[in-house]
Amino acid sequence: MGDIEQLQSQLQLLRENSELLMSYYDTQVELYKTKIEMTRNNLQLEVETHYQKKQDCFSKLNELQKEADVLQKKVAAQQDYQKSLLDGERNGSLKKEINALKKDIQMLDIEKEVLTKKHQVVLLRTDSSKKENEILKKQLGGLRQELSVVENQCRKLQEQRKRGRQDQTDPSN
């Protein structure tokens, strides 16, 4: 009789240990789910932030393009005016005005170059944002795959736990 009691005692200890292990794994699964959800939320926020930055870059790009167009029109008007002055110029005061206009044109050309460079920088930032968005989408896909794996493992553990409980309650075992 002593062996049966000892075996029953060992069986009871094994059951308690298995319940503790299942509880521990359930807690770990919930912890991983929480971490994955937090990471997913952080990535979603980053994607939205990058999208907003991209929209801001496009807006700035449009503004710079408008400024460049205005400056081009000013340059064309100044050049037309300078040409008309050169055609009809006969006195020294017109030469001074022409020189002043040439300086204005040079300044406008410099401004145009600066705006063109700003335009190029904005285009580069836009391309960079697109690449970052692609990377974030890939990371999000990987996390979704990890979540799927963890969820499958959870289901397997729960099925094993159910089978373990059924085995414990089944009198044929």
- Written as six digits, the tokens of 109 are 């050309």
Fold of 8-147: Four Helix Bundle (Hemerythrin (Met), subunit A) (1.20.120)
pTM over 0.75: no
So what's the pLDDT on residue 118? Answer: 87
- All residue ranges of the chain with pLDDT < 50 are none
For the chain, the domains span 8-147
Q: Could you write out the three-class secondary structure of 122-161?
A: HHHHHHHHHHHHHHHHHHHHHHHHHHHHHHHHHHHHHHHH
- Give pLDDT, residue 171: 59
The confidence score (pLDDT) of residue 172 equals 61
pLDDT of residue 136: 85
Give 38-87 pLDDT, tens digit per residue.
999 999 999 999 999 999 989 998 998 999 899 899 989 889 888 876 66
pLDDT at 162: 86
pLDDT of 1 reads: 64
Which pLDDT score is estimated for 84? 77
